[in-house]
Amino acid sequence: MKNLKLYAEYGAKVDLPYDGERLSLSAADAELNRLFFATSANAIYVLHLSSPQENSSTEFWVSDVPLSPTLEPDDYIMALDYLMEKEALIIGTLDGFLLQHSLDGDLTEVVGRVEGGVKSIAASPDGSLLAVATGLGQLIVMNQDWDVLYEVMLEPPASGSVFSKVLHYQSSFSIHSAAIKPVTWEGSCVSKVQVSWRGDGKFFATLVSAGGSSSLSRIRIWDRETGASLSSSEYKVFMGGSLDWMPSGAKLVAAYDRATEQKCPLIVGFERNGLERGSFSIGDAVEATIDMLKWNCNSELLASLSRCKEYDSLKVWHFSNNHWYLKHESRHSKTDYVRFCWDPVKPLNLIAWTQDGKFRSKNFAWVTAVTEKSIALVIDNCSILVSPLSMSLIPPPFSLFSLKFQSAIQDIAVLSQHSKNRLAVALSDGCLSIVELPLMDSWENLEGKEFIIESCHSDDSFGGIGHLTWLNHQVVIATGLCESGVGDACLEKFSRNNGFSCEDKMRQACGCLFMEVQFICSEDSVADTVTSSGWHAKVSKRMCLQKPVLGIVKNPTEDGSAFVQFVGGSVVEYTLKSGLRMPSLDVGQKNPNIFTGFASSCPWMMAAQVRDDGILKPLIFGMDEHGRLHAGNIIVCNNCSSFSFYSSSTGLSEQVFTHIILTTKQDFLHIISLGDILRKNHEVGCEKYIVNDGKISNQESRDALKVWERGAKLIGVIHGDEAAVILQTTRGNLECMYPRKLVLTSIVNALIEGRFKDSMLMVRRNRIDYNIVVDYCGWQAFLQVAPEFVKQIKNLSHITDFVCSIKNDNGMETMYKNFVTLPLIRKEGTGMHVVRVENSDMKNKVSAVLSSVRRALEEYVPESPARELCILTTLARNEPPALEEALKRIKRIRELELSGTVDKSDPAHSKSSPSAEEALKHLLWLSDSEAVYETALGLYDLNLAAIVALNSQKDPKEFLPFLQKLEQMPPIVMRYTVDLKLRRFKSALLNMASAGEDCFEDSLILMKKNPQLFSLGLQLYSDSSRRSQVFEAWGDHLFGEESFTDAASAYLCCSSLEKALKAYRSCNNWRGVLTVAGLLNLSKEKLLQLAHELCEELQALGKPAEAAKIALEYCHDVHSGIMYHVSAREWEEALRVGFLHGREALISEVKNAAAECASALISEYEEGVEKVGKYLARYLAVRQRRLALAAKLQSDERSVNDDDDDASETSSTFSGMSAYTLGKGKGSAASMSSNSTSRTKERRRQRNRGKIRAGSPGEEIALVDHLKGMALTSVAAHELKTLLGALLMLGKEDTARKLQRMVSSFQLSQRAAVTLAEDCLSSETMDTSALSLDNYIDKLKKELPDYQDPSWQSIILHPPLQAELYILARTCATGYSVYLIRNSRVFAAIVTVISVPPFHNNQRYDQ
């Protein structure tokens, strides 16, 4: 599905100084990209080709001075080749001399001579061997040092010849020797020898054309190392000048002469074993001969040169899908005696030359044969194979129909207007043809037909033209190659006006002919068929341009306008009215957004009509030979291999393209919105890659797909709802794929436009989740359009599939989140309103959607069995399934059948509803049969339950006895039994309650087994005695569940006080216990005993404060109460009670206990300060060691060779296993553990979480956590506050201040240590001088100079500030009353200062 387009043709000419001098031989230098041509005058001209990296406006040029090798008089060059290693030409002469001509010094050296003359020279692909064929039929193979490795006979000598009698002949090759004994071969002389090496140089083939009566010959395959003949073909009549081995080595080709059979020559392929491997006819006259066959450097194209009676024909063939296509033909005059060769580096460049020194470089490019309307127009010789891909994928060489022209086709231009297609075709004989195709609706009638196309009538000669492009329905423009002197005046005028140079700096002798051709038809077209007659062509405008044209594309937004690209990438606009309109360079420099051309030459150029801010405009795309895809002023992709445009259904209606689809050299297919490209194109100076390379991330997966076969190319798309991308593999077969992004875009467009039927067809065809129909605009919006949805679909089976697929999630936020974006506001009057409710409850989605569909079915769809089954489906797929309602509908149908009002055999009934059995089977197929059976039982319809059981394949032994037993029961008991079986306990209790008081015991048992029924039972039974029994049973259940408080409440409701007392005591609610004891009127002795027991229990539970309250209030034991307060460290409360009861001894005990507690706390917090320092020091040591080890490992990793992947992976893996690293290495298979082992290790880590293990990987974190855990708790703060208050009450101010100072010091040290550890943990470097605990304590003091913890500290006991001490000392000496003291901490300083001499004063101290 691709055509070979001649996008550029360059010409050059060398002036041969001698009359009758002709170009004869050629050789190629692939390294420096140049060709050598030998003339009949023994001169060698060098043709320099541009390299693939160059972007030159000149394709080649000829050296000014030819090379002049030194030959003997009357000797001529017969063979020529180039040795890259020696940088020299190897020349074989008529007299048998082998010459080495050095290119550096233009020196010629004789390296040997052979008898019979040199017929052919062929160097091996690696340049290490040289094969020389002589006129005596010998083959000599030598190395670079000119040592003969072996020499063999090309063909065995004929029997009886003179040569056959010489058994031991002298070597026919001599180094630097000119006097060798002549050896003759009588009766057989070699006229032509072809030698061709295989691409890898392991084998070479020869074909000899010998004189004599017999013209039979054969191809022989030789081994490189030994010179042994490995295989040969059959003896055939070969055309001796045609033999070439495909560079890939798959096969070699030669030509058969079939003139004796009155047939044209045949090109035949051979395998290495000499067997034929396919053939094809060249399609010329019988007398034609094939003079040359050459493969291009990538083995993709085969060029042949056939010499006919009237002209010479240069043809380019391509093999695909087991068929040989003639993709290009150019005809030349017989007098030119044209020859050719392929560019040794560029596979699509062919150089042809004539014997009088004219050169032409033909630059080809593969272009897709698929038009924008998805019509394939494949060129094959003089036929166009037409296939509408939107109807069917027909791989060539097959086609729907074909168009046959009078000669081979060179170029095609397609004009699509008003659903019609018109073709302009340029032929190799210089004629033009116009073809009008009918509407595609009638193409099915054209299947298998071949239409003979007439050429246009014209008085002008067009010659070889290309770049055919329609301007409007009557005018095309094209380019050709004009010889020097043609249109010089026009050229000079155009060049003067538009800035082109007329100087021929590169010795180009040919310019680019630009012409405008007008067509007029004298006949009316015939509908529903192909027409081509009655067309007249006339050249209305012609000009010769010095700068070659690379491409022309029609302006899609303006009729009569086209864009023309010149070599170098510059693009101008051509219009019918004003011709070529050159943009001003100043304008392009001032405004970079103005498009003046591409950055490089782009042989592939296309224009897409897009909508930019509501304005239709063209966007020009071009791809250069390096794969850079340009779009206006930006680069879309830097490794593109093919691209095409796609238009969605919305784009088709607006006649614009919406996406560009491209493939990369890494075999990825990318889909890019043209809107994104337009936005980037508006950026000034923008040169960005939208597609960088072939690496696809998860975020990019919506826009890129992996092409499954390497080398597959994009050839076209099918627009609109089809959303198909067509690829052609290297084998030639076609593959159609449907990218998710395009498919979802089409579905979304159909939904927004309200085309539900089309969207459903796309969903079904592409296996898209049906939920997209509901979720795209929000399921709330679908509820509004559900009736329209049902009306459009009509196919109830499709609606059933849709209903079965609805799920309670949003597919637009999960499955298709990365493929389509949220919808825009729809057009008024079409499609779905966008309704999106934030945090909408997706649990209601299924039931709401199915309910709306069910209502629409009942309202808008006529009654039918399919409708009823669809409604049952909506009930069965509801969440939860509405099986009861579904069974009721089935029961209604069954009742109608049993009543006899409906005749089953009546066709009207069968059309309105299904049978009950059919409906039931449908419900069972959609639902769990057991659930349907239980639902039928729940309707208390035993007959229906039996029918369900029978249709669900249940064993009658399982359900019949049970149903029979139910049938014999009273109705209420039957319902109760069914409810119990179905575990519908609430319904069972209701049934039992309705049975009366006799069934109360059964109801109570049911409530005990199902405690959730107790509240319902209290509502059903109003009698106080029954309610008491229910409450007591409920209390017993709660007591067993250890819900003692609730159990006590239940017991109190039924006046079961003993059980209530037990319940309160079980939950340690001493207030409830003593309250219930009061309700029981216990005696004083029992109440006192109960109080003592409660004190002991609370003391054991760690609640001495509550025990103290009971001892004081109920036991009246002051001593025990105070001791309980001391045990609870309620110092102030202990003192209050002691003073209340005047117990001096107890007060003294409290004072001593408080002092001892303060002393113990001072020692404890002093030790805590030391622990903080130790833990911090250990942490800093561990941290420093880990950082040093990590730095060493990183330096070791950097020193490892980057190419050694194994070492790199090992080092990186083990770096994560260090005891001082936090990184996680990639585990190997050996390090993997089972789930059970992992769980065991996790449990062990949980147990050891509070421990610090020296050297363990988690030691750092454990140390930091331990430092944080040493912070003062709220309980400790409360105890400190009460203790400080008690000490002040007892006059122990010094002890209180010392305790507060020590705890404050600990608190400050702990906080500073935590801050230091966190700072160190967040940094990868350590400054040991700065990371000091004292520094952080000082820093914390500066940041919080008035820091205090009001939860436990006393302001009175705060230490004074040093500066304030000095100021207050002077103040007290001179009179402190004159200063206003505003800071509370200064009061503490005053007390400290005036309590010591010389400032001590009792009066001041008291004040």
pLDDT tens for 507-545 read 334 568 889 999 998 888 788 889 999 899 999 888 888
Q: What does the pLDDT read at residue 1344? A: 63
In whole angstroms, how far apart are CA 248 and each of 19, 244, 300, 304?
42, 12, 9, 18
Per-residue pLDDT band at 1226 (split at 50, 70, 90): very low
Instruction: Extract the tokens encoding 336.
Output: 């030119």
Inter-residue long-range contacts of 48-57, CB under 8 Å, 24+ positions, other chains counted: 49/343, 49/345, 49/346, 49/349, 49/351, 49/361, 51/345, 52/345, 52/346, 52/625, 52/626, 55/568, 55/569, 55/600, 55/601, 55/624, 56/567, 57/547, 57/548, 57/566, 57/567, 57/568
φ, ψ dihedrals at 1318, nearest 5°:
-65, -40
Q: In this predicted model, what pLDDT tens digit does every residue of 11-70 receive, in sequence order?
A: 888 888 888 889 989 999 888 888 999 998 889 999 888 765 555 545 677 777 788 888
Task: Please give the Cα distance from 786 to 779 (Å, whole number).
Answer: 10
Nearest 10 degrees: CA dihedral of 362, 367, 372, 377?
A: 90
For 556-613, what is the HEC assignment?
CCCCCEEEEEECCCEEEEEECCCEEECCCHHHHHHCCCCCCECCCCCCEEEEEEEEEC
Task: Please give the Cα distance from 1078 to 197 (Å, whole number).
Answer: 120
Task: Please give the Cα distance from 994 to 981 (Å, whole number).
Answer: 19
Give the DSSP per-residue string, 1239-1299: HHHHHHHHHTTT---TT-TTHHHHHHHHHHHTSPPHHHHHHHHHHHHHHHHTT-HHHHHHH
Q: In this predicted model, what pLDDT tens digit does every residue of 554-610 receive, in sequence order?
A: 999 988 999 999 988 889 999 988 888 765 434 344 455 567 788 889 999 999 999
φ, ψ dihedrals at 257, nearest 5°:
-95, 115
**pLDDT of 615 above 50:** yes
Per-residue pLDDT band at 946 (split at 50, 70, 90): confident
Nearest 10 degrees: CA dihedral of 1056, 1059, 1065, 1071?
A: 0
**pLDDT of 1402 above 60:** no
Task: Name the amino acid, one letter, at 822.
Answer: L
Q: What does the pLDDT read at residue 65? A: 77
**pLDDT of 121 above 90:** yes
Q: What does the pLDDT read at residue 822? A: 54
**pLDDT of 501 above 60:** no
Q: In this predicted model, what pLDDT tens digit does every residue of 1061-1111 receive, in sequence order?
A: 888 888 888 888 888 888 888 888 888 888 888 888 888 888 888 888 888
**pLDDT of 443 above 80:** yes
What mean pLDDT value characterizes the chain?
80
Q: In this predicted model, what pLDDT tens digit does every residue of 279-289 receive, in sequence order?
A: 999 988 888 99
Q: What does the pLDDT read at residue 151? A: 92
Task: Please give the Cα distance from 1219 to 52 (Å, whole number).
Answer: 56
Q: What does the pLDDT read at residue 1354? A: 75
- CB under 8 Å to 723, separation ≥6 — which residues? 646, 648, 738, 739, 742, 743, 745, 746, 762
Comparison of pLDDT for 905 and 678, the residue scoring more: 678
**pLDDT of 753 above 50:** yes
**pLDDT of 415 above 80:** yes
- CB under 8 Å to 337, separation ≥6 — which residues? 22, 312, 354, 355
Per-residue pLDDT band at 1407 (split at 50, 70, 90): low
Task: Please give the Cα distance from 1284 to 1296 (Å, whole number).
Answer: 5
Taking residue 240's Cβ as centre, other Cβ atoms within 10 Å add up to 21
Out of 695-699, 820-824, 1264-1268, pick the least confident: 695-699
Q: What does the pLDDT read at residue 1059? A: 86
Q: What does the pLDDT read at residue 1005? A: 86
Mean pLDDT of 1207-1232: 34
Mean pLDDT of 359-388: 92
| Residues β-bridged to residue 67 | 44
Mean pLDDT of 916-921: 90
Per-residue pLDDT band at 788 (split at 50, 70, 90): very high
Task: Please give the Cα distance from 362 to 939 (Å, whole number).
Answer: 88
Out of 267-281, 629-643, 728-742, 1315-1329, pick the least confident: 1315-1329
Q: What does the pLDDT read at residue 581? A: 75
Give the DSSP per-residue string, 380-438: ETTEEEEEETTT----TT--SEEEE-SS-EEEEEEEEETTEEEEEEEETTS-EEEEEE-
Global pTM reads 0.70
In whole angstroms, how far apart are CA 1040 and each of 236, 436, 910, 1027, 1067?
108, 95, 62, 20, 13
Comparison of pLDDT for 1346 and 234, the residue scoring more: 234
φ, ψ dihedrals at 907, nearest 5°:
-60, -35
Reduced to 3 DSSP states, what percent helix, strand and coil does the chain have, rounded to the nearest 5?
35, 25, 35
From the list 575, 539, 538, the residue with the least C-alpha distance to 559 is 575
Say how many Å lie between the first and final Cα of the chain, rounded.
Answer: 109
φ, ψ dihedrals at 281, nearest 5°:
-90, 145
Task: Please give the Cα distance from 93 to 40 (Å, whole number).
Answer: 12
Q: What does the pLDDT read at residue 410? A: 92
∠ CA(716), CA(720), CA(726), 5° rounding? 20
Q: In this predicted model, what pLDDT tens digit does every residue of 683-692 receive, in sequence order?
A: 544 455 566 5
Helices (H), 914-955: 916-926, 929-938, 942-951
Q: What does the pLDDT read at residue 1249? A: 52
Q: What does the pLDDT read at residue 594? A: 66
Tell me the percentage of the chain whose pLDDT exceeds 90.
Answer: 29
Per-residue pLDDT band at 1373 (split at 50, 70, 90): very low
Mean pLDDT of 472-484: 81
**pLDDT of 851 above 90:** yes
Per-residue pLDDT band at 493 (split at 50, 70, 90): very low
Tell me the percentage of the chain whose pLDDT exceeds 70.
Answer: 81
Per-residue pLDDT band at 1360 (split at 50, 70, 90): low
Question: Quick one: angle between helices 1144-1199 and 1274-1289, nearest 10?
Answer: 140
Per-residue pLDDT band at 1349 (split at 50, 70, 90): low
Q: What does the pLDDT read at residue 485? A: 39
